[in-house]
Amino acid sequence: MDFKNSEPMAPLSEERLPHTASAAVKIVVVGGFGVGKTTLVGSVSEIRPLTTEETMTQAGVGIDDPAGVERKTATTVAMDFGRISISDELVLYLFGTPGQERFWFLWNGLFEGALGAVVLADTRRLEVSFDVMGRLEESGVPFVVAVNSFPGAPVHSLDELRAALDLPSGVPLLACDARRRDSSRDVLMTLMHYLHSLVVSETS
């Protein structure tokens, strides 16, 4: 398996953590096949992201469901990894999970030690999100749901999507464009605010 870098090498100064960093948080980015997990991690990471993408082959025919993502030619087979400093003290380590169900056995290890998760959803295949959210609920990992935008994908209001996903009112739901750094960062900031609110409610 080749480990590939989706962006040019960052300057060494950007690879190093700031000396003021005192807290590191593990975040997982999950979702179905082709929803944009690798793209989100790559767009927001301040270091050269580590990916484990492999070219899709005939081995996945009849096993992986390419509906809605027929043009996809590569897929994550282990994980994606990136890092972003939210502040001078707080650093997030991002772990993107593989999307095909045949690789979901890797999720349990990636969930260990995770403070929270981002569920990326695609309106073309919204039903996949149910299994993803179910796995997080079973693992006790809090999450937010971000609906990634794709050209030609059905457009629905957030209220309609919340109802379709049967998502509790307290769980944040937002639209995003995983290709844009600012949009991906907003998703992570929403997750951090949500996790903070959970801590406050538990201690109050």
Task: Name the band, by pLDDT with cuts 50, 70 and 90, for residue 184.
Answer: very high
Task: Name the band, by pLDDT with cuts 50, 70 and 90, for residue 18.
Answer: low
Contact by Cβ (8 Å): 136, 110: no
Mean pLDDT of the chain: 81
Contact by Cβ (8 Å): 54, 78: no
Q: What single-letter DSSP state applies at residue 46? A: S
Contact by Cβ (8 Å): 48, 10: yes
- What average pLDDT does this structure show over 17-33? 82
Quote the pLDDT of residue 64.
46
Task: Name the band, by pLDDT with cuts 50, 70 and 90, for residue 167.
Answer: very high
Rounded to the nearest 10 degrees, what angle do helices 37-44 and 181-203 cross at?
A: 90
C-beta neighbour count of 91 within 10 angstroms: 18
Task: Name the band, by pLDDT with cuts 50, 70 and 90, for residue 15.
Answer: low
Handedness of CA 5, 185, 177, 200 (dihedral sign): positive
- What average pLDDT does this structure show over 27-44? 93
Q: Does position 143 have pLDDT exceeding 50, yes or no?
A: yes
Q: How far apart are CA 15 and CA 3, in angstroms?
A: 18
Q: Does position 101 have pLDDT exceeding 50, yes or no?
A: yes
Contact by Cβ (8 Å): 67, 125: yes
Helical (H) or strand (E) element with 203? helix 181-203
Contact by Cβ (8 Å): 75, 59: no
Task: Name the band, by pLDDT with cuts 50, 70 and 90, for residue 191.
Answer: very high
List the domains of the chain with CATH numbers.
4-203 (3.40.50.300)
Contact by Cβ (8 Å): 99, 31: yes
Task: Name the band, by pLDDT with cuts 50, 70 and 90, for residue 185.
Answer: very high
pTM of the model: 0.78
Token code pair at residue 27 = 């975040």
Between 11 and 83, the more confident residue is 83
Task: Name the band, by pLDDT with cuts 50, 70 and 90, for residue 100.
Answer: low
Q: How far apart are CA 130 and CA 158, in angstroms?
A: 16
Q: Does position 53 have pLDDT exceeding 90, yes or no?
A: no
Between 87 and 160, the more confident residue is 160
- What average pLDDT does this structure show over 95-117? 79
- Residues forming beta bridges with residue 4, ordered by sequence position: 51
- What average pLDDT does this structure show over 158-165? 97
Q: How far apart are CA 2 and CA 52, in angstroms?
A: 7
Quote the pLDDT of residue 35.
93
